[in-house]
Amino acid sequence: MAEYTNDLRLKEIATGDESGTWGTSTNTNLELIGEGLSFTTKDCFASNADQTETVADGSTDPLRGMYVKVTSSATLSATRVLTILPNTVSRLQFIENATTGSQIITIKQGSGSTVNIANGEVKAVYLDGAGSGAAVVDAFTDLNLGGNPTSTTQTAGNNTTRLATTAFVTTAVGNAEPFPSGTSMLFQQTSAPTGWTKQSTHNDKALRLTSGTVGTGGSVAFTTAMATPAVSLGSVTGNPGTNQTVSAGNLAVSMSGNISNTTLSTNQIPSHEHTTALGAGGTNHLAIINASVNTQAATFYNLGGNTGGGGSHNHGHNLSGSMTGAPTLSGNVTAGNLAVAASTATINVQYVDFIIANKD
């Protein structure tokens, strides 16, 4: 009885079979061997879903080809799985994802590893034929080409996982646009670089950083404002008086005038008395005779009383004078009613000119 246990699913004629027809079966096998070495195309996705394909036994089947271009009559909307059976087949195949819908297809044989092929790409994979646990492996993952291999240069702008030659990279770098069109940049040069256009909207202005929406403002040109700016200072109000000290200065005081005469009244004179001496004997004394004994008195008597009240009094004057000199003031003076007049200053700050240019 014929068997189909080989990796190409060819008919194996049993002993005693095919009497008179052996040649026909042999020719079919030879054709299938050629198919196994050829380029083939197969629509594996008639619907937008995962699919299973089984290589036919002893008859033509595009999935037997060495290079299989997988297509789809349905437009795929997501990654789809293509399972290739029998899971005992072990062989190398080149598989191209030419499906519609720009989706990845996943090649599977059993419960083992799988290989993803991006739309438009080709991968060399091998099916290990290990039965229910069969795996699909990317044959070129660890491929060492050695030497200095060359390759076809991909089309500029290709954004797939295809190999990029040095020529492709050089072109890509030369065409690289790190800044989107319309980007505004500052340049410290007179003319805009290639690919940029110099802007003339803003001229002779300063730069201001902002954390909000950008804009413009001010009314005085940068050069004018920085050359002779008018600095206007208003008045300062408050009450000075903190920690002030006055140090010695060259002070001179001159005085002139007189104090007028004042006649004191009795009440303004301090209290005092005048003593009168009375005595016996001498020619300069008054002798008082004691009528009883007819003798002279030997005692002095105070015949006058106290007078004067000790009251206050004043003196009028017409003194006048002046003070000259230059005392110094030190310490901390708080704000007071101080008026500061407007003034001007010449700055003439150094600057570097920049231009604004937009990316074409």
Predicted confidence (pLDDT) per residue in 242-270, tens digit: 566 656 566 676 777 667 677 778 787 88
Tokens of 125: 């994979």
Indicate if the pLDDT at residue 321 is higher than 80: no
Mean pLDDT rounded to a whole number for the chain: 80
Q: Supply the pLDDT for residue 85.
A: 96
The answer to whether 360 touches 180, Cβ cutoff 8 Å, is no
Better-predicted residue by pLDDT, 29 or 306:
29
- What is the Cα–Cα distance from 67 to 117, expressed in whole angstroms? 14
Give the contacts of 41 (CB within 8 A, at least 6 positions apart). Answer: 62, 68, 69, 71, 98
Banded pLDDT at 340 (limits 50, 70, 90): low
- 66 φ, ψ (degrees, to nearest 5): -70, -40
Mean pLDDT of 302-306: 59
Q: Supply the pLDDT for residue 49.
A: 98
Indicate if the pLDDT at residue 341 is higher than 60: no
Q: Which of 69-73, 305-309, 331-335 shows the lowest mean pLDDT across its residues?
A: 331-335
Indicate if the pLDDT at residue 346 is higher than 70: no
- What is the Cα–Cα distance from 246 to 249, expressed in whole angstroms? 9
- 193 φ, ψ (degrees, to nearest 5): -70, 170
The answer to whether 45 touches 103, Cβ cutoff 8 Å, is no
**Owner of token pair 């052996």:** 22
Better-predicted residue by pLDDT, 172 or 289:
172
Q: Supply the pLDDT for residue 297.
A: 46
Q: Supply the pLDDT for residue 42.
A: 97
Q: Supply the pLDDT for residue 6.
A: 80
Helices (H), 111-202: 166-174
Q: Supply the pLDDT for residue 328.
A: 67
Give the contacts of 272 (CB within 8 A, at least 6 positions apart). Answer: 306, 307, 308
pLDDT tens digit sequence for 180-201: 888 998 988 999 998 889 988 8
Tokens of 301: 């008597």
Q: Which of 39-53, 167-181, 344-358 shows the lowest mean pLDDT across its residues?
A: 344-358
Burial of 138 per CB tally in 10 Å (0-12, 13-18, 19+): middle
Domain map (residue ranges) of the chain: 1-142+149-174, 181-234+340-360, 273-303
Q: Which of 149-163, 180-194, 213-227, 315-329 shows the lowest mean pLDDT across its residues?
A: 315-329
Beta strand 105-108 with 67-72 is: unpaired
In one-letter notation, the amino acid at residue 121 is E
Banded pLDDT at 3 (limits 50, 70, 90): confident
